[in-house]
Amino acid sequence: MQAKPNVNPPLLPPQVDPHFLQQNPLFQILESLRFTILSIEYTLSPRRTLRNLLKTCVYYWLMLCIPALLFLPLLHFAFVQLNSIVLLLAESISHLILPVSFTAIFVLLLLFILRR
């Protein structure tokens, strides 16, 4: 059984561009930023474990956020519509129940009074 080839070889230590002093100031700034970022990455994780961990985290974050951004507005719209339907039903049922209940109370009181 053969071992799998190393997909992510260890990072090489960062090096400054040999023509750094001949570049214009803007490219010198960019080169120094590049060197600083690569130095930090090399210091934190010379075997690329941090880079792989960040890649995995970003991958799962995107897999969770993209469907959420697509479906949450639709879900919100559905719940708003459901809320308005429920409120409409509750109001219409209350308009039906209140007169019936007052009529039933009136009839019961009338029967109670007539029975005496």
Q: Is residue 95 part of a domain?
A: yes
pTM value is 0.49
Q: Is residue 67 part of a domain?
A: yes
Q: Is residue 7 part of a domain?
A: no
Q: Under 8 Å CB-to-CB from 35, ≥6 apart: which residues?
A: 14, 15, 16
Residue 32: domain span: 25-115
Q: Is residue 77 part of a domain?
A: yes
Distance CA 17, CA 65 (A): 39
pLDDT for 69-109, tens place per residue?
Answer: 999 999 999 999 999 999 999 999 888 887 878 888 888 88
Q: Is residue 51 part of a domain?
A: yes
Total domain count, the chain: 1
Q: Is residue 91 part of a domain?
A: yes
Q: Is residue 74 part of a domain?
A: yes
Distance CA 13, CA 43 (A): 9
Distance CA 2, CA 70 (A): 44
Q: Is residue 17 part of a domain?
A: no
Type and span of the H or E element at 84: helix 49-115
> Considering only 2-11, 16-25, 84-93, which range has the smallest mean pLDDT?
2-11
Return the DSSP state at 15.
Answer: -
Token duo for residue 100: 């019936």
